[in-house]
Every structure is written in C-alpha cells, then in structure tokens.
C-alpha cells in the first residue's frame, strides 16, 4: 500500500482528516525518497482515478510534483509538501519562491520560463496548500534577464 491509498478522500470543501496511523505511514514512506532529488513515480502507482492530462508525478522527501499537459504546449506543475498539518486539515504550507525554482529545475524545466498566477478575487480557488506554476513555450518580452 502507498500513502495515496491510505489517505481519506474528503468531499469538495471538506478537510482531510487522516488518522495518526495514516500520518505515520505517510511519514515512513517519505523516508524512502531522497531529500534533494525528484524520483519519477510510475503511472501504475498513481491513484486509479487520475486526471487525463496528468503526465508525470515526481517525489522527493519533502515534495510531490504533478505535471499536467495544458492546451497550447503549456505544462502545469502542481507542487505540494509531503507533510500534513492536522491543525489546518491541509498539506503543510510554506513553499518558497526558491523551492519552486529549485523543483522546476529538478523536474527538468530549469531552462524554461514559468508563471505563477494570482487570479481575480472572484476566480480564486484555495482548496489545498498546493502551488501551481505554468511552464510556457516562450518567454515574454517584458521578462527581466540577467545582464551578460
């Protein structure tokens, strides 16, 4: 059994409420992964019901990176910590800009531009402590660049 199989499946809007045993199981499984490297998770270990556009899942001791194919040659990296905060009923928060940049590189996209979006208030969805970055096929003209 993998941790994804032992966590409860809350309904939309409900908190996850894993048992102490489930959290300990997840913590033990985390120790099987390296700290500073992402390991590809084979599709047969993904949840049985996965979005059709999910193309890769990668893990480290601290993070899970799910990669989705979006329209127009865009990839979405959805990143969360592999630790659960019982008090909030969510994944542990606090993924920094440096974490995102490093994980983008570890996932193989270090030479590509990524965006993080901040939607209008009316379109905001914050159901879990998961950060999303979109890998774009081209860099925008207005992007800052290091002077050579």
pLDDT by residue (tens digit) across 16-44? 677 888 888 888 888 999 999 999 999 99
Q: Are 47 and 4 in contact (CB under 8 A)?
A: yes
For the entire predicted model, the pTM comes to: 0.82
pLDDT by residue (tens digit) across 60-103? 999 999 999 999 999 999 999 998 888 887 888 999 999 999 99
Q: What is the mean pLDDT of residues 33-58?
A: 92
Q: Please state the domain extents for the chain.
A: 3-135
Nearest alpha carbon to residue 47 among 90, 81, 5: 5
């Amino acid at each position: 059994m993998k941790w994804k199989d032992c966590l409860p499946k809350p309904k939309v809007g409900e908190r996850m409420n894993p048992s102490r045993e489930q959290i300990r199981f997840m913590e033990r499984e985390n120790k099987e992964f390296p700290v500073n490297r992402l390991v590809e998770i084979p599709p047969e270990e993904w949840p049985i019901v996965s979005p059709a556009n999910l193309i890769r899942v990668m893990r480290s001791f601290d993070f899970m990176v799910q990669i989705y194919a979006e329209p127009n040659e865009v990839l979405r990296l959805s990143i969360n910590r592999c630790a659960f905060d019982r008090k909030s009923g969510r994944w542990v928060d606090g993924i920094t800009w440096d974490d995102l940049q490093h994980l983008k590189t570890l996932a193989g996209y270090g030479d590509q531009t990524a965006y993080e979006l901040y939607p209008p208030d009316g379109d905001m969805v914050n159901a879990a402590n998961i950060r999303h970055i979109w890998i774009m096929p081209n860099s925008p003209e207005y992007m800052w660049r290091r002077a050579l």
